[in-house]
């Protein structure tokens, strides 16, 4: 089978993918979830003209020539309000958030007022509307403020609460079963045998699944035996996985048994082997409605392919619009050589030159086993197939890597 392009592979992977059904969750459980329908305000906020300051509700015209003394006829704390009408020469003691009483049109802040028993003297003028939040300043009932496909974060959560939604319609979280394969692998925290290494890919992929809003299902490490693989593939189906991610065993070696096992379980192959580095042996298909993504075993390959393929698949399952793969370009700080037929994703550092212009430096060594350089990288430089050599200063497409603070 010939190598297919990254774009073609993405298209085949996402073909026919529909968003998972909606479910209702309490606001307290909604952080990180993706809205399944548009959300409109059920109320107007603020519902009444409200004071933005502690002070006195006044008629601005009364204070045209300070100092002006007014009679304090009542009090309006937040949550209560003053029910009477305020006439000329009168004021109401008011606190932040309280409804502005009838007849008043501005707030005199208490720092500019002198209280003396039943009277208050304004030391400054105020303009009409000063420190008054008109009704609906924030939003009006019926306004759609959050769209389907929006990922709920701390800001959206507070807004949904203010709109008086106690439960939110969100897409069910994609369930992603993750299966590491290979006799050479032992779990982190155990002592490897003489020819073994620590399995790392499942941990990174599971974290990415969580970051994308999915639930990882850990299927452990299957040794290179067909029965062991068959057993774990069956376990993925029993766990109702929406996606099965296999790690390793995707290439052409005698011990790369994954594709055979998946084929035996009824997988319809969408593609195998793509024109990408790292990630050549990537494979995709489906067993009934369970998607299958066969990631290459090399650690950097599996994580870069997760970013480029698993992330958009998760977005599609969550009803989110696909993020553009390429968009930004930056100047190279150093020259790069010509590329071959595989689209290359080079781990790179972002820095600023003397003029403060951001620039990108690909690391000199790009072996797909080197996880340390992936963790150090700020971005991936994308080199299209057959790209010519480029000198320092040439602009190249980049993909910023998600980074935790710190």
With binding defined as CB under 6 A, does residue 165 bind ligand MOO?
no
Which of 100, 217, 368, 398 lies at the binding interface for ligand LQZAQKY5 (CB under 6 A)? 368
- For ligand LQZAQKY5, the closer of residues 20 and 179 by Cβ is 179
Calculate the alpha carbon distances from 123 to 66, 91, 293 in Å: 6, 14, 72
Contact status, residue 245 vs residue 176, Cβ threshold 8 Å: yes
Span interacting with ligand MOO, options 32-40, 224-232, 235-243, 277-285, rule CB under 6 A: 277-285
With binding defined as CB under 6 A, does residue 184 bind ligand LQZAQKY5?
yes
Q: Label residues 171-193 b or e (16+ Cβ within 10 Å = b).
A: bbbbbbbbbbbbebbbeeeeeee
Q: How far apart are CA 321 and CA 313, in angstroms?
A: 11
Which of ligand LQZAQKY5, ligand MOO, none does 18 bind, CB closer than 5 to 8 A by kind?
none
The secondary structure element, H or E, covering residue 276 is: strand 276-277
With binding defined as CB under 6 A, does residue 99 bind ligand LQZAQKY5?
no
Which of 4, 13, 63, 180 lies at the binding interface for ligand LQZAQKY5 (CB under 6 A)? 180
Which of 59, 165, 280, 291 lies at the binding interface for ligand MOO (CB under 6 A)? 280
Calculate the alpha carbon distances from 383 to 155, 374, 389 in Å: 37, 17, 10
Minimum CB–partner distance for residue 306 and ligand MOO (Å): 12
Span interacting with ligand MOO, options 6-14, 41-49, 275-283, 389-397, rule CB under 6 A: 275-283
DSSP at 384? -
With binding defined as CB under 6 A, does residue 214 bind ligand MOO?
no
Please report, to the nearest 10 degrees, the dihedral formed by the alpha carbons of residues 135, 141, 143, 146 taken in order: 100
With binding defined as CB under 6 A, does residue 279 bind ligand MOO?
yes
With binding defined as CB under 6 A, does residue 280 bind ligand LQZAQKY5?
yes
With binding defined as CB under 6 A, does residue 298 bind ligand LQZAQKY5?
yes
With binding defined as CB under 6 A, does residue 259 bind ligand LQZAQKY5?
no
Residue 361's CB is within 10 A of a number of other CB atoms, namely 19
Minimum CB–partner distance for residue 301 and ligand MOO (Å): 3
Triad 346, 349, 352: Cα angle to 5°: 135
Contact status, residue 224 vs residue 181, Cβ threshold 8 Å: yes
The token duo for 162 is 């203010």
Which of ligand MOO, ligand LQZAQKY5, none does 37 bind, CB closer than 5 to 8 A by kind?
none
With binding defined as CB under 6 A, does residue 250 bind ligand LQZAQKY5?
yes
378: burial class by Cβ within 10 Å (0-12, 13-18, 19+)?
Answer: middle
* Residues at the contact surface with ligand LQZAQKY5, assessed by CB under 6 A: 180, 182, 184-185, 197, 199-202, 247-253, 256, 278, 280-281, 296-299, 301, 368
């Amino acid at each position: 089978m010939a190598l297919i392009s990254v774009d073609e592979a993405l298209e085949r992977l996402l073909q026919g993918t529909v968003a998972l059904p909606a479910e209702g969750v309490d606001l307290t459980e909604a952080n990180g979830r993706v809205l399944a329908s548009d959300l409109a305000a059920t109320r107007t906020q603020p519902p009444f003209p409200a004071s933005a300051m502690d002070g006195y509700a006044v008629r601005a015209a009364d204070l045209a020539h300070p100092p002006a003394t007014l009679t304090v006829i009542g009090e309006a704390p937040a949550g209560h309000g003053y029910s009477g009408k305020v006439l000329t020469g009168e004021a109401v003691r008011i606190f932040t958030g309280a409804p502005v009483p009838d007849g008043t049109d501005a707030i005199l802040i208490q720092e500019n007022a002198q209280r003396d028993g039943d009277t208050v003297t304004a030391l400054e003028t105020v303009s009409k509307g000063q420190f008054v939040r008109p009704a609906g300043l924030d939003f009006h009932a019926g306004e759609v403020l959050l769209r389907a496909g929006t990922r709920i974060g701390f800001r959206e959560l507070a807004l949904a609460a203010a709109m008086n939604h106690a439960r939110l319609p969100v897409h069910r979280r994609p369930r992603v079963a993750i299966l590491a394969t290979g006799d050479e692998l032992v779990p982190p925290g155990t002592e490897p045998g003489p020819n073994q290494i620590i399995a790392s890919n499942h941990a990174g992929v599971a974290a990415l699944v969580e970051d994308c809003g999915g639930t990882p299902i850990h299927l452990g490490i299957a040794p290179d035996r067909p029965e062991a693989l068959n057993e774990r593939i069956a376990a993925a189906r029993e766990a109702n996985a929406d996606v099965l991610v296999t790690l390793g065993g995707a290439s052409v070696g005698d011990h790369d048994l994954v594709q055979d096992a998946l084929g035996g379980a009824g997988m319809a192959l969408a593609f195998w082997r793509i024109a990408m580095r790292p990630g050549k042996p990537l494979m995709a298909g489906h067993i009934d409605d369970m998607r299958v993504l066969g990631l290459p075993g090399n650690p950097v390959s599996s994580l870069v392919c997760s970013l480029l393929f698993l992330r958009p698949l998760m977005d599609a399952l969550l009803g989110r619009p696909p993020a553009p793969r390429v968009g930004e370009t930056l100047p190279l700080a150093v020259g790069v050589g010509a590329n071959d037929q595989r689209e290359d994703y080079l781990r790179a550092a972002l820095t600023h030159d003397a003029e403060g212009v951001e620039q990108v430096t690909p690391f000199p060594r790009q072996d797909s086993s080197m996880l340390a350089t992936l963790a150090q990288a700020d971005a991936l430089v994308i080199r299209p197939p057959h790209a010519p050599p480029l000198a320092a200063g040439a602009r190249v497409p980049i993909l910023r890597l998600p980074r935790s603070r710190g």
